Amino acid sequence: MSLSRVENPCFLLFLLVFQAIFILILYQGGPSNVFRGFLESHQIQDYSKTHDVYTNLSFFTQAPNEEAMPYCSVQSPIFVGPLTVTFRVLPSERMIIQKNPLVQSGGRYRPPHCLAHYKSAILVAYRNQEKYLRHLLYYLHPFLQRQQLSYSIYLIQQMGNGTFNRAKLLNVGVREALKDEDWDCLILHDVDLVPENDYNLYVCDEYYPKHMASAMDKFQYNLPYKSFFGGVSALTPEHYMKMNGFPNTYWGDDGENDDIATRIQLAGMKIVRTPSHLGRYRVMDYKKETEIQESWRRPASRHNTRKTWKDDGMNSLEFKLLSRRKHPLYTNITVDIGYVPPFS
Ligand SMILES: *[C@@H]1O[C@H](CO)[C@@H](O)[C@H](O)[C@H]1NC(C)=O
Ligand SMILES: *[C@@H]1O[C@H](CO)[C@@H](O)[C@H](O)[C@H]1NC(C)=O
Ligand SMILES: *[C@@H]1O[C@H](CO)[C@@H](O)[C@H](O)[C@H]1NC(C)=O
């Protein structure tokens, strides 16, 4: 005696699964939508077809009634995915200002057509890299506007000839930026990196520090090593304070990034990452970068982060603010960060 087909438990399960899939498709607006979704997700990672970063930016014009402005759409209507990035021609400052008429003094921008969901401060540690800076501004301003963000770009400039201290400069940037505004998100950005996809959102993860430069061209669009936290990252002010900011005591090499990754863990958090098909970056001056690539290898830890992190960071930050000026494209904060070990 054999069971009839309908009573066969396998067949019943099959029917159930089939029904669930059918309902899911209906719920999403029919199979054509599923197909379109697939097409779109293919397009946003097709790097053989790139678009100009200024494409359709002029769609965002002043709303007639500023009082009754709606919130911005969750997904920007002008996203294109992969962007064309080239460093062959150095854009002039005047041209960048002209192409970004809605950017206000100090590098401040708010969408003219809607209320932004996020306010992000972009912090760039800087010294005498005028060409990098200009390329960066040319790409970053329209990139951030595409994402309908309220944002400001800060340059934190180290005075003098001493050894560069990126981490300490970023601590200074965070403290100074939070005097201006209650930022939702702090984006810590190297001056020589340009994002290649406008779906790489410059907003924070709610729970954890987010590493965004997960695929740089100079590392063949991979991570150089597993705990890598360099290039571009996004932390909320809460994340930043919870880990006591960045160490003030790393001079010169890139060791601070490993200290930072360790701090994140010691403060009970973990690193989340932008997926590598979106977190793609072009590095400027490729040739020079490969020359000094040695220092990008995971450096041996010289500091005992576990012992030092609670005493070395935002709570021990000392510096002298030399000037704070509003340039049309950024806020220029110049600091004396104190004792600088001489070049060895
Ligand atoms: C720019 O906007 C126009 C009009 O909506 C649209 O047809 C076109 O596809 C957009 N361009 C890109 C690259 O998305
Ligand atoms: C920086 O170096 C230049 C040339 O090496 C020198 O002329 C200048 O005085 C130095 N500036 C400081 C603040 O040490
Ligand atoms: C920033 O301000 C300082 C001090 O006023 C100035 O010397 C420097 O040239 C400025 N840097 C940039 C990139 O605007």
Domains and CATH numbers, the chain: 47-289+305-336 (3.90.550.10)
Ligand 3 center to 37 CA (angstroms): 47
What angle, 0 to 180 degrees and rounded to 10, lies between the N-to-C axes of helices 256-266 and 166-180? 60
Q: Does the C-beta of 157 come closer than 6 Å to ligand 3?
A: yes
Distance CA 253, CA 265 (A): 22
Nearest to 82 by CA among 52, 54, 56: 52
Q: Does the C-beta of 55 come closer than 6 Å to ligand 3?
A: no
- The string of DSSP codes covering 191-256 is TTEEE-BTTS--S--SSS-EE---EEGGGTTB-SSTT---SEEEE-HHHHHHTTSS-S---SSSTH
- Which residues are within 8 A (CB) of 253 and not within 5 positions of it... i.e. 6 or more apart? 295, 299
Q: pTM above the 0.75 mark?
A: yes
pLDDT in tens, 120-142: 999 999 998 899 999 999 999 99
Assign 216 a pLDDT band (cuts: 50, 70, 90): very high
Q: Which atom of ligand 1 is nearest to the CA of 56?
A: 1
Nearest to 248 by CA among 160, 162, 311, 161: 311
Q: Which atom of ligand 2 is nearest to the CA of 161?
A: 1
Distance CA 293, CA 46 (A): 28
Q: Dig out the tokens for 51 from the structure.
A: 């678009």
The strand pair at 108-109 and 210-211 is best described as unpaired
Ligand 1 center to 57 CA (angstroms): 10
pLDDT at 32 over 60: no
Pocket test for ligand 2, best of 161, 163, 339 (most atoms within 8 A of CB): 161
pLDDT in tens, 60-74: 998 888 888 999 998
Give the pLDDT score at 203: 98
Ligand 1 center to 44 CA (angstroms): 15
| Separation of CA 140 from chain center | 10
Closest residue by Cα to atom 7, ligand 1, is 56
- The string of DSSP codes covering 300-314 is PP-S-HHHHTTTSSG
Q: Does the C-beta of 188 come closer than 6 Å to ligand 1?
A: no
In the chain, % of residues over pLDDT 70: 82
Q: Dig out the tokens for 193 from the structure.
A: 């990196």
